[in-house]
Amino acid sequence: MIKRRVLFIDSALPEEVEDALKKGFQGVTTNPSLVAKAPKGDSQIPFMDRYIDHMKILVDICRKYPTNDNGLSSLPSLSVEVFSLEPDEMIKQAREIKEKLSYPNLAIKIPISYKETDYLNVIRVLSQEGFQVNATCGFSEGQLMLAAQAGARFVSLFYNRLIDYFNKNVNSQGIGQERALEIINNTREYLDGNDFNCEIIFASIRNSFDITNGWINGADIITAGSKTIPNLIFHPKTDSSVEGFEKDLNEWMK
């Protein structure tokens, strides 16, 4: 598979998603916490119907902004998470979401594990049914590698949450970032050594340096919230350069 280094928007708010796709972002990731920031809608409507109705709004936005992926026009990737923690119900929800959204570049997010339950079989079953699965809430190489082996199309590492956990619970010397980047590099090497059609998503991003760090260290995709983007785009020297060009041209035109 041709490797890429692209940026997704991590949001379930329609205005943020549309603004990002207008800028050329290649996809959208959502999760239940992000959905909870959106208007709740009519509480008389069953929750699953409200959840899907909200995702349909995002689907309509995504359809307006085809991407240029490796020279081919395609629709942005959209990741939607199931909210059950029971394996059979997860599969049922995934099927319902896929059927009702009818979006060709949909990925279903499945957490890799919860407490004493792993969801690798859920990932395997859905992948064999033709789903793109985004295996989410990853915090170790083992989790990401096993999810890829089970058939995940994407494996998501929660970068800053991992750093926080490592610095607090494992090593207080502040080397959590080093460990997080080591996990990305190890996973990159593992995927490159196998024939899995799987990409690494670098999630839990807090600033523009995290974005470039992820790309440099082997992540295929960075998914970031809207607040992290301005510092990636804007620079005071860009402004002064543009102002200088305008000033010089105006002088020449006198």
Q: What is the largest CA-CA distance in the chain?
A: 75
Q: Cβ of 24: how many Cβ atoms within 10 Å?
A: 12
144 touches 121 (CB < 8 A): no
**Burial of 59 from C-beta contacts in 10 A (0-12 / 13-18 / 19+):** buried
Q: Of the residues 56, 109, 227, 247, which is catalytic?
A: 109
The pLDDT of residue 71 is: 57
pLDDT tens digits along 101-150: 999 999 999 999 999 999 999 999 999 999 999 999 999 999 999 999 99
pLDDT tens digits along 35-86: 999 988 888 999 999 999 999 999 999 999 999 766 556 999 999 999 999 9
Residue 227 DSSP class: G
DSSP-assigned beta bridge partners for residue 106: 78
**Burial of 166 from C-beta contacts in 10 A (0-12 / 13-18 / 19+):** buried
The pLDDT of residue 83 is: 96
Residue ranges covered by each domain of the chain: 6-253
Measure the CA–CA gap between 87 and 112, rounded to whole angstroms: 11
pLDDT tens digits along 164-188: 999 999 877 778 999 999 999 999 9
The pLDDT of residue 147 is: 99
Name which of 180, 232, 225, 230 is nearest 33 in CA terms: 225
pTM, entire model = 0.93
pLDDT tens digits along 190-246: 999 999 999 999 999 999 999 999 999 999 999 999 999 998 999 999 999 999 999
Task: Give catalytic status of residue 115 as yes or no.
Answer: no
The pLDDT of residue 178 is: 94
The pLDDT of residue 73 is: 63
Can you tell me the mean pLDDT for 2-23? Answer: 94
71 touches 100 (CB < 8 A): no
Name which of 177, 142, 185 is nearest 161 in CA terms: 177
Fold of 6-253: TIM Barrel (3.20.20)
